[in-house]
Amino acid sequence: MACNRLVATMKRMGLLNLIKKIKTAILGVFSERRLSIKAEISTVFQSVVPIGERGISELKFELIKLANSSLLFIEDHSASTLDENSDAREIIATDGSGMLLYVSHDLGESWSRIYENAQWDSKIRAGFSLAGGSRLIRTYTGRMYHFDASGKLVSSSLTGAWHWHGSQGIGESATGVVMYAEYAPLRDEDGVQQLSVWRYRPHDYDREWQRVLTLPAAIRPPQGEIRHFHVCRPNPTNPDQWILASGDKGAHCRLWFSEDDGDTWSEAQLPSPIFSNAPEGKYPFILRFTQFSALDNDLIWGTDDTAHAGRAVLVRMSMNSGQPTFELEGWLGKNCIRNIASYENRVFLLLSESKHDPSSADCVLYDAATKRITSLLLPNLTQSKSSVTDSLGSEKLVNGVGFFPALEAVLKDMNTRGIFRVSIKEFTQ
């Protein structure tokens, strides 16, 4: 009886509803904590570097990993779609199984599951976020899942067998058209394959992915017209123009432009001499690159090639005359460049692989204002000929921070898989 009177009194006073609300809030906090996984972060490389006429900065590489699982980088959403001051930056990754997808909103400090109810047909291979907040997720089978901004699956289509290469193997134009170019790691025994550029109009969910350009591909000339595509991305200095690049050897290194979202393509021809500001000499294949960045109204990249000269070069391409002209911005290291990321559109971070010179890998800072190239060597502790990173990674160091896949080289443990958080912190003198 006393218990019933107490309950009735609490109801009249509204205390039961208050207790229920407090209980729900507490359970919600603990539920959120269970869903959020705290990452382990350690510093693997640190140096002081010059920036500007008299400035100095701290350059730091940190390894982000999970305690019980690998963490494989997929995408930095803010690379080209968000304002640099935005707090909505999303870093996307999978776990070691390739079946779980995670997002971090705090620069890799913690990770939460997304698309938990998705039924993937195979492991997740790649992802690409669209300007409107929706996202494409591609599995190894070639199936492309399109989720809207709320996480609802709006379409699922089967594309070709081959994925795109790196962060700039796919892009979205100002008109909302998405295109990607196929990358196939072909071998001699593969003969000649047909590789395509695929196009998708996400605002029209009834339209399937379509091939807009197909070329025969083989491991090296004279077979095939390319080996594979490297880049398929709108020009950041001219958003109506698409940039398409291929590799790897000789005549397979090619560059095209499209002004009509892939309906037609025009191929660029190398001028003679190649560089407008350098004498004739032995240079790498300058059209073999896997990432580019914008410098003023031009494009800049490091070559994914060291042929002939034994070193990579920093290339600047201008389209002022309607046809591309090239300048030699400087010489780089003995390994091929895989990444270039812009810091405040004035300093550029370039990262290499470690296949040609396994003793170390190249980390280069190019200060465009002073034309200074600062070369650092990342220690390859395992002497691995695998990559330090690959051609995935941030296009910009937003607020001085970028993210890149951390593979075997530089890491002490060959089995470690994580993400590099690379930061530049300037000091005033």
Give tens-digit pLDDT for 160-191.
999 999 999 999 999 999 999 999 999 999 99
**Residue 194 and residue 225: Cα distance in Å, rounded?**
10
pTM of the model: 0.88
Give every residue of the chain whose pLDDT is below 70, as ranges. 1-35, 79-87, 205-206, 386-389, 408-416, 428-429
Q: Give the Cβ contact number of residue 327 at 10 Å.
A: 17
- State residue 68's pLDDT score: 84
Delineate the domains of the chain, giving CATH numbers in brackets: 48-427 (2.130.10.10)
Q: What is the pLDDT of residues 267-325, one digit of tens each?
A: 999 998 999 888 888 999 999 999 999 999 999 999 999 999 999 999 999 998 788 99
Coil, strand or helix: which one is 258? strand
**Residue 43 and residue 33: Cα distance in Å, rounded?**
25
**Residue 405 and residue 391: Cα distance in Å, rounded?**
9
**Residue 254 and residue 163: Cα distance in Å, rounded?**
19
